[in-house]
Structure 1
Amino acid sequence: MARAFMAGLLACATPVLVMVGATPAIAQSTKDAQLDKAVAALRGITTLKADFTQTDRSGQVLSGKLTLKRPGKIRFEYEDSVNMLIVSNGKALTLVDYDVQQVQRWPISNSPLGALLDPNRDVKKYGTVQETGDPNVIAVQVKDAKRPEYGVITLIFVRDSAAPGGFELSSWVAVDSQNKRTTVRLSNQRYGVAVSDSAFTYKDPRRTSRRPG
């Protein structure tokens, strides 16, 4: 199950808010302004800690703690029943599965999460504003038409004056090159908190059977 969730995580979006395939109904100038706001919100994040829930396309849900440090670092610490970690050290996403004592890596540029992590992935260049029907919600779909194997991620921002740029990253939906879809929703976001680089390391599963605390 852990690997299935990993596949989905590297590919997620919010179906309630994003009306995929809908005919654009907002003026291009408004879309440009919304894209600028979303980019400002992303660039305003230096560090972030939050709770998350992750839902795959079959409806299975896992929860845990997320830690983000830009550029490029992220950690998904799952609930105790899931003996695995997902971490990025700024160059690669790593799945550490302690149950089967395996490690798998993907370059961050090859994942939909590259929109969050890869400093070379220009959200403004590759992002397209999607209609949400709510002026307080911005949905930005990020994909590289020349690299469909990278997948697609739709980032959802909700207006919040306390968040960087005035919009809070609330969720995202990723769809990978195999059309596997996962939705991640954040809550209890804390910005600008102290985060050590050691948070993005892991113990070699060949030497331990449990993830670090």
Structure 2
Amino acid sequence: MTEPTRATAIVAPADLQRRQLLLGAGLVTGFAALGVFGSAEAQSNLSAADRAVVQQAQGYLQALTSAQGTFVETGPGGQRREGRFSLLRPGKMRFEYTNPAGLLVVSDGYNVKRYDPRLNNFQQVPLGRTPLSTFLARNVRLDQGVRIDRVTRMDSGAFAITARDQNRPNDGSVVLAFAGSPMRLHEWTITDAQGSRTRTQLTSLQPASNLPASLFQLRDPTRRPGRN
């Protein structure tokens, strides 16, 4: 077992590494799912009104190019995490946790990086090898990738979309909830392959401008000077 104070090298298999990189970052997982709603064939079970709602969500997400906000994440065991996020499409996001303090997940447009100061652990994988790349693409498409199981519409104008990976439907699902009038992304719930649920609520979400490039840069804090 690795000592908590020791830097950990990136030696995990690709799938495990991606899972660890997203662990403790349900916000990343939720945004990753936003960009991969089902293909036309997978949407054939939806009514015309439901498909219109999906198109409405696509337009909203496509317009969400630069934003900042805060979130509260509740894990399957009831553990609560909080933090701030910044978004600059294409390619860049930052998730800065205040609880647990110091945990960072950053996409710089090329790689997704995760640093946990409690374990002095740094990991990174290419952005293109994570589902997050779909949402951070220049063009967000909701008509290819996975299956839409359900669209729930409410009289207030709010709605929720339940989706899962079309090619790996047993890997879990995501329920994305949008508030209406004015429309905004409100929260999502991720259910994994084991049935565990993580709920992420956006306590604020506002357009942002002139976000500094430094927000989306993260060097390996565990690397010593002169170390190869």
Residue 46 of structure 1 is matched in structure 2 by 65
Distance 2:132 2:69 in 1: 16
CA contact (8 A) 1:75 1:87 kept: yes
Residue 164 of structure 1 is matched in structure 2 by none
Alignment of 1:111-190 (within 5 A): 111=130, 113-114=132-133, 116-118=135-137, 122-125=141-144, 126=146, 128=148, 129-148=150-169, 152-161=173-182, 167-177=183-193, 179-190=195-206
Say if 1:140 and 1:105 are closer, same or farther in 2 by CA, change over 3 A: farther
Structure 1 residue 8, shift from structure 2 partner: 4.5
- Aligned-partner SS, 2:52: helix
**Structure index of larger Rg:** 2
Structure 1 residue 138, shift from structure 2 partner: 2.1
> What stretches of structure 2 of length at least 5 have no aligned partner?
1-19, 32-44
Identity over the aligned pairs, expressed in percent?
A: 27
Indicate which of 71, 76, 82 corresponds to 2:90: 71
- TM norm structure 2: 0.68
User: Are residues 1:197 and 2:213 paired?
Assistant: yes
Structure 1 residue 92, shift from structure 2 partner: 3.4
Say if 1:111 and 1:57 are closer, same or farther in 2 by CA, change over 3 A: farther
CA contact (8 A) 1:113 1:153 kept: no
Structure 1 residue 60, shift from structure 2 partner: 0.9
Distance 2:169 2:140 in 1: 14
- Aligned-partner SS, 2:53: helix
- Aligned-partner SS, 2:94: strand
Higher relative contact order (CA 8 A, sep 6+): 1
CA contact (8 A) 2:83 2:97 kept: yes
**What is the Cα-based RMSD across aligned positions, in Å?**
3.3
Cα deviations by residue, 1:80-117 (Å, 9 ceiling, x for unpaired): 65231011123433211122222123454555545533
Distance 2:160 2:131 in 1: 15
Name the count of aligned residue pairs.
190
Distance 1:149 1:71 in 2: 29
Cα deviations by residue, 1:47-99 (Å, 9 ceiling, x for unpaired): 11011101111111111111111123211111165231011123433211122
Structure 1 residues 149-158 or 192-201, which shifts more? 149-158
CA contact (8 A) 2:159 2:179 kept: yes
> What stretches of structure 1 of length at least 5 have no aligned partner?
14-25, 162-166, 209-213
Residue 96 of structure 1 is matched in structure 2 by 115
- TM norm structure 1: 0.72
Structure 1 residues 187-196 or 144-153, which shifts more? 144-153
Distance 2:101 2:87 in 1: 20
CA contact (8 A) 2:152 2:161 kept: no
Tell me which amino acid in the other structure corresponds to 1:93: V
